[in-house]
Amino acid sequence: MYLSPEGLKKLKEELEKRKHSRAEIAQKIQEAKALGDLSENAEYQEALAIQSFNEGRVMELEEILRQAEVISEEMNHRHEAVEISAQVKVESKFGNQQFTIVGSSEADPVKGFISNESPLGRAFIGRKKGQEIEVDTPKGKVKYKIVEIL
């Protein structure tokens, strides 16, 4: 799994925040226990659900960070072909668009961050300026022409 230095920092910060919230969550569980009958105690059930989600996310973040390959500064140079960390300007029937190719944990298609593992990301990887590709999308087949690679 690939991460930019910024993505790595963001995930580490989230992990620390979640680890520090453990004490607060444990306190909420204790307070909810004090309210009485646990089988009908909505506050207790909610606190347990929050704890479960938090612990699951801690484990997920630790695994991502363990497997992460950080994109080096050398990879951030001007790209000859599309690769991870490249910004790609394209033309399609939807007009001009710009995407940044990132690892899956940093993907945010709404903001233009496309995972290298997505169909669109896989189609762009290795392509060069001027090349055209056709990708199956939820909106049907779309042709993209690579205008610029940054």
Residue 58 main-chain phi, psi, to 5 deg: -60, -45
Percent of the chain with pLDDT over 70: 95
Which two three-digit tokens encode residue 132? Answer: 């055209």
Q: Give, in words, the CATH class of 73-149.
A: alpha beta
Percent of the chain with pLDDT over 90: 73
What length is written for the chain? 150
Per-residue pLDDT at 78 exceeds 80: no
Instruction: Look at the pTM and tell me if it is higher than 0.75.
Output: no
Q: What is the pLDDT of residues 27-55, one digit of tens each?
A: 999 999 998 888 888 999 999 999 999 99
Compute the average pLDDT of residues 124-135: 95
User: Domain extents for the chain?
Assistant: 2-70, 73-149
CATH number of 2-70: 1.10.287.180
What pairs with residue 133 in β-bridges? 144
Domains 2-70 and 73-149 share a fold: no
Say how many Å lie between the first and final Cα of the chain, rounded: 21
